[in-house]
Every structure is written in structure tokens, then in C-alpha cells.
A and B are shown apart, each in its own frame.
Chain A
């Protein structure tokens, strides 16, 4: 089982609709969860972080976390063509020496159709 799993897509969503991106993780000890957006040819940029169960909203973005189900999701409301990108889910883990590091999923490619 992969440590962080995402559906690779592509996921196509009409403009104005809600895009739903999902991620599952295997380490029950993980406490911090992140969504990064990566445009083609660019480096990842952080768009959301979530640390406790429930929803966290930031503008058109909502991150949802369910630690019992080991599931984190990202909702994008009123999808825009500029939201077309690959979305990376990242989860923290502890190294053998007790230091935090991130494990990334392979990403979901999202295309917003005008």
C-alpha cells in the first residue's frame, strides 16, 4: 500500500462546478496534511494546510480531514480554467530520528472545461 494515494486522473470538471480531489494515507500517526498545486512546467505551491478533523475553508477552497478514515480531500468551488493544474496531497511523517518530513502523493491532474 502506498503511503499517500491519489487518483491520478485526469479529472475533468465544467467551469463553475465543484471539483473534488481525494487522498488517502496509511500512517495513522500523521498529524499534518497539505495540498499543493503545480501548474505544468512550474514548481509546487502550497494552497491549503489542515491539522484537525473537519473542514477548513479559504476562499473557493475547502480542505476536509477525517483521521479515523485516513482521508483528506480538497473541494474547489466555482471552478475556473485557472484551476487547471496537478494537485498534490502531502502528509507528514516522522523519520527514524524523530524529525518531520513530508510524503507526497503522485498528484491528480485537474482540467476545468470552459
Chain B
């Protein structure tokens, strides 16, 4: 079974802090994704990566950056956390094709005070 793990289940940070969210998958998947999920807005793509050191902006990349130094690990970085980044963050991975058959991690509930 594919396993996608995320570093924290719950996280509380202060406005202006730098925040790192880590995601690791154990199935040698090429593709990795970061989403945020908010009530009424659904799942929205922040960034994605199709290969090591490759990244592409999703639909809402503002205020975020990512890093993929190893195939199994994809990190989401909030350079200066703001209250509007309070959300559930979900990491997902998929094999080469089809890209849309994604496996999700358990999520990180981030609260920015």
C-alpha cells in the first residue's frame, strides 16, 4: 500500500513565522502535490512537482514556496505565515501516469494566530 506521511497532524504558529510542512511518500512516485482545503472552497492546488528539483505553481501559490531535493520528500514552506493561511494542508502523490490517481496524506491542520 502507498503510504504518504505528513510531519505534523496539528500545528499552531504565530503571524510572521516561517513554517515548514513536510511530506514523505514510500512508493517511489514521480508526482507530488500540495493542496489546501477550506470549507466552501474545496481542495485547491498550491504547488506540484513531477521530478526531483522540479516544481510548478498551482492555482494559489502566493505566499508559499516548495522544495523537492529527494524523490520521496516534498516540502511546503510558508515564508511569513499569515492568518489567512490557517487551513488544512494535504499532500498527495501519484505515479507517472495517470497523474490524477492520487494518494493523500492524513493532512496538517495549521492555525496561524
Contact = CB atoms under 8 A, between A and B. Distances in A.
Interface of A: 32-34, 42-46, 49, 51, 88, 90, 92, 95, 97, 99-107
Interface stretch (B63-71, B73-81, B103-111): B103-111
A100 B105 CA distance: 20
A1 to B, nearest CB: 15
A97 B57 CA distance: 10
A49 B98 CA distance: 10
Interface of chain A, helix or strand or loop or mixed? strand
Contacts of B43: 44, 88, 104
Interface of chain B, helix or strand or loop or mixed? loop
Contacts of A105: 42
Contacts of B98: 32, 49, 51, 92
Nearest to A33: B100
